[in-house]
């Protein structure tokens, strides 16, 4: 990500280079590697210009070359895709500066960022498939039966699914991130200066935090008909004033999902067990879940 930001900041890329990258991006919808002729077609450049630009972006390590077959072909790497996403977010004036990494998980990286008015946001970049696509069953809900599984497509849809969830929840005025912008595999959202619940040695008022989490989860369930699907101490951010943000909504499911009951139970039990073990807060997950059903 830092490499992509440096290239854009130093203006080492011009619009013709970006057009070549976008041509490869379009071609990757159909195949992992895109031939030179197809890149020429998608980027709408003459062959000489296409070859020149391919050589340049390849030298900048934004694409990977495959010369094992008769036709030379290229594919975007993660830096090349980051360049396209960042460029668009800057062009749309959603952000103008990239800060340090503030979080790293199996499925995504999170950076601090800033807009023209010096508002500080979080930039979430999906990296699904960073290691493999073995966990494909979890993705099927939004991949369908697509034959060609492009990592670009997976990450783009993952970002959109979470952005749509945040947009729906934000209307309820509850403690989840405010969605600011979306492009490709990147989401810009509001940022809370805190850390995940799991990383606190001690909370000032754990009972108050616990009640906030349950209340917010209940409101989202009752008014948006949504269940987080992966709720726990690693998906709840708390600041030093006791404010919370419930984050990471990729695995959310609707309340009428066939597995809704068991998944809601798992979410609530995760929270209850954490507060019971670490802060000795007694609760009854069964009663809490029953209260969700009563509006």
Q: What is the pLDDT of residue 139?
A: 56
Q: Is the pLDDT of residue 136 over 90?
A: no
Nearest to 127 by CA among 159, 149, 101, 100: 159
Residues 209-237: what's their mean pLDDT?
96
Residue 142 has pLDDT above 80, yes or no: no
Tell me which of 115, 116, 230, 267 is the catalytic residue. Answer: 230
Q: Which of 6-15, 81-90, 155-164, 174-183 has the lowest mean pLDDT?
A: 6-15
Domain 92-190 - what CATH class?
A: alpha beta
- The answer regarding whether domain 2-80 maps to CATH 2.70.98.60 reads no
pLDDT band at 138 (very low <50, low <70, confident <90, very high): low
CA distance 44 to 270: 53
Residue 178 CA to its chain's centroid (Å): 14
Assess contact for 222 and 295: CB atoms under 8 A. Answer: yes
Would the pLDDT of 157 be above 70?
yes
Provide the residue ranges of all domains of the chain, joining segments of one domain with +: 2-80, 92-190, 194-292
Structure tokens at 230: 């992966």
Superfamily (CATH) of domain 194-292: Transferase(Phosphotransferase) domain 1 (1.10.510.10)
Question: Does residue 16 contact residue 49 with C-beta atoms inside 8 Å?
Answer: yes
**Residue-by-residue DSSP string for 87-111:** HHHHHTTS-SEEEEEEEE-SSEEEE
Active site residue 230: yes
Of 2-11, 135-144, 221-230, 255-264, the poorest mean pLDDT is in: 135-144
pTM assigned to the model: 0.90
Q: Which residue has the tokens 């000489």?
A: 48
Counts of helices then strands in the chain (DSSP H, E): 10, 13
Q: What separation, in Å, do the N-terminal and C-terminal C-alpha atoms of the chain show? A: 45
């Amino acid at each position: 990500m830092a490499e992509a930001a440096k290239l854009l900041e130093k203006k080492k890329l011009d619009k013709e280079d970006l057009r070549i990258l976008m041509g490869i991006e379009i071609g990757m919808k159909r195949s992992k590697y895109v031939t030179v002729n197809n890149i020429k077609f998608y980027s709408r450049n003459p062959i000489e210009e296409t070859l020149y630009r391919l050589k340049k972006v390849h030298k900048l390590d934004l694409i990977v070359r495959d010369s094992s077959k008769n036709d030379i072909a290229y594919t975007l790497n993660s830096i090349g895709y980051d360049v396209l996403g960042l460029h668009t977010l800057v062009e749309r004036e959603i952000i103008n500066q990239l800060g340090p990494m503030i979080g790293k998980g199996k499925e995504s990286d999170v950076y601090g960022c800033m807009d023209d008015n010096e508002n500080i946001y979080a930039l979430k970049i999906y990296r699904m498939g960073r290691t493999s696509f073995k966990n494909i069953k979890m993705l099927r809900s939004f991949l369908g039966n697509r034959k060609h599984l492009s990592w670009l497509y997976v990450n783009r849809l993952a970002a959109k699914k979470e952005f749509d969830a945040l947009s729906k929840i934000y209307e309820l005025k509850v403690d989840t991130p405010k969605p600011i912008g979306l492009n490709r595999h990147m989401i810009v959202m509001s940022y809370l200066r805190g850390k995940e619940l799991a990383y606190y040695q001690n909370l000032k008022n754990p009972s108050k935090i616990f009640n906030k989490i349950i209340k917010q989860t209940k409101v989202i369930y009752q008014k948006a008909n949504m269940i987080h699907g992966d709720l726990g101490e690693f998906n709840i951010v708390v600041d030093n004033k006791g404010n919370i943000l419930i984050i990471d909504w990729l695995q959310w499911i609707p309340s009428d999902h066939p597995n809704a009951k068991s998944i809601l139970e798992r979410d609530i039990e995760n929270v209850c067990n954490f507060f019971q073990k670490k802060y000795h807060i007694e609760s009854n997950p069964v009663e809490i879940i029953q209260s969700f059903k009563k509006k």
